[in-house]
Chain A
């Protein structure tokens, strides 16, 4: 038994010593940097001058998605990397392999240790990032968010893909256009009843219907599909059966439009029921082709990744972004009156004709 105790004790002691000597002077700069890190060893100044000009060293911008390895965030990675090349900055694109807040926090902590200049994050759970983003700011790292807002008191810019109001109203307009009439029964399919972004869009879509198309009649409440195509498919079949007069379905969350279209396809109702929703073009292409899905509308995640990097670069260089500014590679952006919220632009519609042109 004695051996084990001495082992445990020595481990505690050694870690204690490491902590102590680390706190005193982190002078032992590692001599050889590995081939993996390209731009040489970063200056080892422990939080002395957070806003020091970086001289001619390349800016290091870390872009953290909610998770890596899904088509949406692979597309934004391409955009972010492209921006890195075109704008001459180092882009580190890394994130958790599961959409777990704990993992995402660790990724950011390790990025702070790498002394990046900016962290642009798409939070899984905004509240859980508040402590770590505070830590980043204490170390002199600038923080922005993209895709999903983080704690607004911490970020200097908040890059949104879309204006929620414009997007919601746009979906209603599209549905009316595709139905060819503004006097009809329609239904709303959603990913989950508690998803804040989906609910905001649905509220605006409903508002647009009330204000502009008073003859649109909503059948029942919004239908939850648990973010699953299979569930959306089943619920749509039930919906069509219970309400044979339904002429239009608007579906929110990326799997929902596919499930709805699948049901319409199976029943051969392509010409009777219009389906409009928020889906990725590659997923929706087969349904767009035979008309079961009339149009998918979303934004281009590749451009979103590009914009996040461009905004981060301007932030460090002290360039103020202005409303209506033209960002090369992205287009005209909107800056809201708070000077912080940036909106990438209007939604992109994917139809039978153009869905093949996209890679996400």
Chain B
């Protein structure tokens, strides 16, 4: 019997091959500085992609994700620059993000508006809010202790990557070991059947959006600490990248399936590709094109292998 690999395993192999390839071709790829560099760069997108993954598993999407992050970042930045203690500022930022998440969750779960519409609206709403607060200016000037979150290292391992792995672990446990986690998959596959199974789907969905907003807030804390500044478009380029990473990681865009490992590998693939090609001096526009091509390629591969598996199952069924 032919043993077929899971989507995640295939992606893991792609990651390993790309890593080896870049190590061979790109000058300086394996330097201590560059390896550290990648571990500083990866977590922002990584955490946002995990947040997006959970929402997509529930058959939704969160277009307001990066602006939730920016809003939370701006709140923290404002408080820090006014001299508040770090803990107070961070808690306020997390609370702001939680409010954003609850707002999205309320409209999606309780009112029942489609997630893409709700979050499209809240995206513009949050952007407007931030512009109102900051007038478009950047807020900067944080205490040095705060910079450790984004720029520090423990035993030459960057703090952000440690955060990222902790978050990946938590997300995995929450999704796979808790009742809520199982309900997320169920709601994503069939909300009606889930409701009739006696599960409060509203509460499940509300928590999905709350969870993604909280992760967005963690990502924003890392970002503003790393960049020493918060602004309306903080991390705005990550919005579609996070969707791309989740989908590349094997998450079913229609909901019901998705794995933390897959998303982690996908973010790793993006990171290695972007960094390696930059080192090789490939123009940024070409880097973007290659990312797009790889995304399409892997998705087609996944689709074909899923079809082949279905066919095998069907044949076996006949016999």
Contacts and interface: CB of A to CB of B under 8 A. Distances in A.
B279 A113 contact: yes
Given A44-B31, A106-B274, A113-B31, A96 B285 contact: no
Given A128-B140, A194-B135, A46 B226 contact: no
A94 B278 contact: yes
B296 interface: no
Interface stretch (A32-40, A171-179, A322-330, A331-339): A32-40
Contact of B233 (A31, A100, A127): A100
Contacts of A33: 25, 27
A129 B12 CA distance: 33
B25 A4 contact: no
Interface in B7-34: 8, 12, 23-34
B285 A109 contact: no
B29 A30 contact: yes
Contacts of A130: 140, 228-229
Nearest to B226: A131
Contacts of B207: none
Contacts of A88: none
B140 to A, nearest CB: 3
A192 B136 contact: yes
A42 B279 CA distance: 12
Given A97-B284, A113-B34, A128-B231, A1 B278 contact: no
Contacts of B54: none
A122 B23 CA distance: 31
A11 B263 CA distance: 13
B178 interface: no
A19 B39 contact: yes
B280 interface: yes
Nearest to A37: B281
Given A36-B281, A42-B27, A42-B28, A7 B176 contact: no
Nearest to B259: A4
A98 interface: yes
Interface stretch (B90-98, B161-169, B195-203): B161-169
Nearest to B176: A1
Given A97-B284, A102-B223, A37 B27 contact: yes
B4 interface: no
Interface stretch (B116-124, B182-190, B235-243): B235-243
Given A68-B285, A113-B275, A11 B25 contact: no
B227 A131 contact: yes
Interface string A77-109: 000000000000000101111111111011101
B286 to A, nearest CB: 10
